[in-house]
Structure 1
């Protein structure tokens, strides 16, 4: 019998196995319905059987937008065989509240490196340990100590804007194409990267001075290379957002996908990204071992407030530097771009905000500081904060529903029992477009955050998530957003290409925003 004749039965058997495992078995599981999830409407007719529909939806780059429309009819939607999405705002407390029995689900485990960082650690006691180590560094009282670093980066960004200033735009005219010479999206991202590197590591990346994001990465064998920070970071996140959903198969799919050019390019950039925090941690650790005592997050990472070493392993140090440079830059840059975009699309709101700033500031309040507005002068301005929060509501930098897993004993969500091990989530985008809480939810209306009515909306505000796992960097983000927006609006006016122009948005876990080219000119008398 020939080799070919022998191989045919094996091929048939393998084919039968594949059909059975990937088609027949999921259908049987669906109809057995041991978890009782068939009572919920499916996102797609096959969503209860396979995660493929959700992966296809992810590739469209508007996952949460699609779910938001479905949730207008259904408070709970089944997005996968073992996953539920909630649109009822009461579920936020059940899933993310301080006393929730939920833990982070398997997506955080399969995308973690050799060590967990603060954002992806799953075990609650381990998270509490990490948060205790870093909470002192992130406390509000440290804002004053960081402000000079934020002011320095704001000044460097504005130095570039000064060079790009053009003549004022005539009324009812559109900018000439050559006058659209500042990509606000890119430069605010240079700002957040430079700022978090300085705040976190006392590192001067110098992106604002260089005008590009070319940095050095380090391989495990010590060799170094150059790469573009933003491209590596965002394409790594994009690939994960497309492929992570079948958790048990993620590592296999992630590797095998590299033979396809579309994914292969993202895979190469993902590998380059891994070396960036290694290099930054390496450089800062050398300074620490040389005896430098610096006022940054890294110092708090290495020692407690009494100067006793925390004895972290190298992998854990790299992991914390990685999330610091990732979450500490990406979401705030998205927020900065979004708020100026919304203000330019709503000129009457822009005028009201500028009037508030001008009324609160004296002529020399910013001129004595290279044009940078002091945080202390503007941090309590109500309309400024409302404009920031409304932009964060309308397009939360992380629109994705952060998945949590129900505990071993199961739990009640919205009064319904959900069995153990089910992934449950509330998308910030979905929550923020809930018309019951946010009337005219698609409109930019800062006044909705005014007074007692605004306070009543805070439990439904998920821009920084909620509960014990909420974003620890919230105060830093507000500091940076407030100083930058107040400073640039005091000094400049901006214009988009046209009133109809729309920014490109692609959803990963965060938004991937397209370029936002603007015309910039100095305000009269400024």
Structure 2
């Protein structure tokens, strides 16, 4: 007798929680958000609607479609997305009253890292410690590590060069001539570089031509992980699909393991990612404890420049290593891939960049020295234009209005409301970026380019902007200049496009290219 009564009670509770309460709150509208158009029919009632948009694969493109009609769109019961870049300073700028959203607390592990810490004093403490590590002076001292990886990339590309395409040959390369997956190799580069810069560790991916590495379980067991990238990407894909239901996230994770073989595999690979990070951090700590004096990011975590201990808990250090090995590799690799893709699709821009590089680089320069290229305006413009069109971190980084509310754009928004603006959307505002889908590096040159900088948010903005911006530009500049100066490349077809999908980053499929050495005598005719 009690069984049916109990089941009926559970059913009524679930109906009340998932259906009746959301509908009542939607019409009660305590924060005045019902005036904003919904992204889809259920956005004002449940966060499950945005989880569905995430599952479909490219939520920022869906937001772009909505923002072409509406400046503000409701993407959840308590979440607003903005399309007007003028809202950037109110949401992310220096002095904003908005804080990091609950989104970051949902995903945090045992300790916060700089990118997800919500508490402002704790963020200030972390930023002070890490600023010295990411300071431009330090990066210039670590340039030799970037140059070493670029030289290894060149060696790999040299061994994979094919015969040149000439006017007499077909412009579509033969499948067997597509010897380089540019997406994979740039990722091998950034992973090798950040491991050396951050931990003085040689992963050796560029030498091996694959990303197999060692993982370490908490019990000290070592084992081989077939693909570093597979673990990293699976983690991001699973989390970015489910995180939007903040209160339900742990439940959704467990449910996804039960109902989806795909998600079960994601979460299995996530364990591999955790073991990759744990091994890297433990291995470097053992070297530090053994008295090795190494010039790297980890040393800056342990001590300040005067040798005083920072006294960070080891769990906090592991968290910083995790975000460094994650955000410090994949976003830059995506940026490198996107820049080369867009240049190959726009041969006139590629020719103009090569002409600029040829004025400062000699044919004997195997790797482009940073001091020769760092101030080249068209090189930087090409990087920024690629970052504009295809920002590696494309989604709107969530912020939360203060308890008393805040003015965003020209309207007051009630307190404790999630607000965001997608870089993918902001960078396509035609009033600021005419013909926004076209690759026009010239738009970043001179005074006009300076005027656009406040609306360029590939690295976010304000006090919480990406601390790794300088190192990303260093790596991007050296690799692009080196490759464009030394090689010619061709896509599989002139109109070839990669598959793209969105996790936390705007991901790209493999990019197979034909590659051959430039003939400088011909190039200089």
TM-score by length of 1: 0.97
Find the partner of 1:11 among 4, 7, 11. 7
**1:410 deviation in Å?**
1.2
Q: Please give the secondary structure, in 2, of the residue aligned with 1:34.
A: coil
Report the counterpart of residue 252 of structure 2 in structure 1.
253
- Please tell me whether residue 447 in structure 1 is matched to residue 447 in structure 2: no
**1:6 deviation in Å?**
3.2
- Supply the distance in 1 between the matched residues of 2:206 and 2:257 (Cα, whole angstroms): 33
**1:225 deviation in Å?**
2.1
**1:347 deviation in Å?**
0.5
Report the counterpart of residue 212 of structure 2 in structure 1.
214
Mapping of 1:44-443 within 5 angstroms? 44-171=40-167, 173-227=171-225, 228-259=227-258, 260-364=260-364, 366=365, 371-443=366-438
Find the partner of 1:479 among 471, 474, 483. 474
Q: Please give the secondary structure, in 2, of the residue aligned with 1:386.
A: helix
Report the counterpart of residue 517 of structure 1 in structure 2.
512
Contact 2:397/2:422 (<8 A) preserved:
yes
- Supply the distance in 2 between the matched residues of 1:512 and 1:262 (Cα, whole angstroms): 18
**1:65 deviation in Å?**
0.8
TM-score by length of 2: 0.97
Contact 2:363/2:520 (<8 A) preserved:
no
Unaligned runs of at least 5 residues, structure 2? none
* Cα shift readout 1:223-258 (whole Å, capped 9, x = no counterpart): 122212100001100001100001011011112211
- Supply the distance in 2 between the matched residues of 1:6 and 1:83 (Cα, whole angstroms): 41
**1:455 deviation in Å?**
0.3
Q: Please give the secondary structure, in 2, of the residue aligned with 1:42.
A: coil
- Supply the distance in 2 between the matched residues of 1:295 and 1:67 (Cα, whole angstroms): 44
Contact 2:165/2:171 (<8 A) preserved:
yes
Q: Please give the secondary structure, in 1, of the residue aligned with 2:43.
A: coil
**1:461 deviation in Å?**
0.2
* Cα shift readout 1:160-207 (whole Å, capped 9, x = no counterpart): 110110100123521011000100000000000000000011011111
Contact 2:101/2:400 (<8 A) preserved:
yes
* Cα shift readout 1:371-414 (whole Å, capped 9, x = no counterpart): 10100001111110000000000000000100001111211111
Contact 2:216/2:278 (<8 A) preserved:
yes
- Supply the distance in 2 between the matched residues of 1:350 and 1:223 (Cα, whole angstroms): 49
**1:69 deviation in Å?**
1.5
- Supply the distance in 2 between the matched residues of 1:313 and 1:162 (Cα, whole angstroms): 45
* Cα shift readout 1:106-134 (whole Å, capped 9, x = no counterpart): 11001010000010000111011001001
- Supply the distance in 1 between the matched residues of 2:134 and 2:288 (Cα, whole angstroms): 20
**1:221 deviation in Å?**
1.5
Runs of 4+ residues deviating >6 angstroms: none
Aligned residues: 517
Q: Please give the secondary structure, in 2, of the residue aligned with 1:515.
A: coil
